[in-house]
């Protein structure tokens, strides 16, 4: 039978299989378990699918694509209290969420491809050479990806750092070292959080983060709070000068409050 039937006439299992891209065997299985049963008959006695059967089949295939098992789908579709429009809304929401996840996956793969093309990837030995024996880059990277892997900031950071050369990382390490020494000098000199000098240091810190991703004051405050909440960061700063982690946090927060954040 032709696939160009008029609306309201039935279609054979072969027609339907070609239209929706599933096998005849799959359609027979759906028929046998009562999931999608052809509701019409031809003059010759062949079972035919109506437009309503087609609509149900599309719903089944959508839920299958979303990972539902056939038993769950049958329950969803055959609930006597079910709202057909509500089902469609639910399917649309689930599909939209899946599309968003796929878009993020595509972006991540593209970033990996770019990094491979550039051929820029510091080895563990190079990281220690540049950042020192106590460098925990791999540990931080894995944790950061788990916590923020779905964020725009993470995507920006991956894209930007993929272009950094070994010399870039050496320059960044030297700049960070000098900045942290200025923090320690300010702490020793009694610089007060919220002062012009302290605010300038806070903005210098924010600029250092902007190398990797766009860091607003609110994001910077989150980092500052992490410096005193995460023992590893506290030990890093306090290893340079006792109380430095709290000082860096305080100047970040005070500066952000003056900018209307917090």
Give the CATH number of the domain where residue 178 resides.
Answer: 1.10.490.50
Q: Are residues 114 and 132 in the same domain?
A: no
1 within some domain = no
Mean of the per-residue pLDDT values of the chain: 79
pLDDT band at 111 (very low <50, low <70, confident <90, very high): low
Q: Is 38 exposed, middle or buried (0-12, 13-18, 19+ CB in 10 A)?
A: buried
Q: Which of 119, 140, 173 is the last residue of a domain?
A: 119
Last residue of a domain, one of 95, 119, 143: 119
CB 210 within 8 A of CB 199: no
More confident call, 248 vs 231:
248
d(CA 161, CA 213): 10
Residue at 4 is within a domain: no
* Distance from C-alpha of 192 to C-alpha of 250, rounded to nearest angstrom: 9
Asked if 115 and 187 sit in the same domain, the reply is no
Residues 116-133: tens digit of each pLDDT: 555 445 555 555 554 455
Whether the predicted pLDDT of 3 surpasses 50: no
What confidence tier does 151 reach under pLDDT thresholds 50, 70, 90?
low
What's the whole-model pTM score? 0.48
Does residue 92 sit in the same domain as residue 157?
no
Q: Are residues 69 and 87 in the same domain?
A: no
Which long-range CB contacts under 8 A does 125-132 form with residues at least 24 apart? 126/166, 126/169, 130/166, 130/169, 130/170, 130/173, 131/173
Candidates 74, 75, 80; CA nearest to 29 is 74
Please check the confidence at residue 169 and state whether its pLDDT lies above 70.
yes
Domain hosting residue 55, numbered range: 13-80
Q: Is 145 in the same domain as 56?
A: no
pLDDT of residue 185: 96
- CA atoms of 16 and 62, how far apart (whole Å): 16
Q: Do 128 and 253 share a domain, yes or no?
A: yes
Domain count, the chain: 3
With b for 16 or more beta-carbon neighbours within 10 A and e for fewer, the 217-235 pattern comes to: bebbbebbeebbeeeebbe
- Do both 202 and 223 map to the same domain? yes
């Amino acid at each position: 039978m032709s696939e160009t039937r008029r609306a309201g006439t039935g279609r054979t299992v072969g027609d339907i299989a070609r239209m929706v891209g599933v096998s005849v065997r799959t359609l027979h299985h759906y028929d046998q378990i009562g999931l999608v049963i052809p509701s019409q008959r031809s003059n010759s006695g062949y079972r035919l699918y109506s437009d309503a059967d087609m609509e149900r089949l599309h719903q089944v295939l959508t839920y299958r694509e979303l990972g539902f098992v056939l038993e769950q789908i049958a329950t969803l579709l055959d609930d006597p209290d079910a709202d057909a429009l509500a089902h469609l809304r639910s399917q649309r929401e689930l599909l939209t969420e899946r599309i968003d996840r796929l878009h993020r996956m595509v972006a991540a793969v593209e970033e990996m491809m770019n990094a491979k093309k550039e051929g820029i990837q510091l080895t563990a030995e190079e990281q220690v050479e540049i950042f020192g024996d106590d460098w925990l880059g791999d540990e931080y990277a894995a944790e950061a990806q788990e916590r923020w892997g779905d964020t725009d900031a993470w995507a920006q950071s991956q894209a930007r750092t993929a272009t950094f050369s070994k010399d870039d990382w050496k320059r960044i390490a030297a700049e960070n070292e000098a900045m942290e020494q200025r923090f320690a000098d300010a702490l020793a000199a009694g610089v007060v959080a919220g002062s012009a000098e302290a605010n300038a240091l806070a903005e210098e810190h924010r600029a250092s983060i902007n190398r990797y991703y766009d860091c607003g004051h609110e994001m910077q405050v989150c980092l500052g709070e992490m410096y005193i909440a995460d023992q590893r960061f506290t030990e890093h700063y306090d290893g340079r000068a006792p109380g430095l982690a709290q000082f860096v946090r305080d100047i970040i927060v005070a500066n952000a409050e003056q900018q209307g954040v917090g």
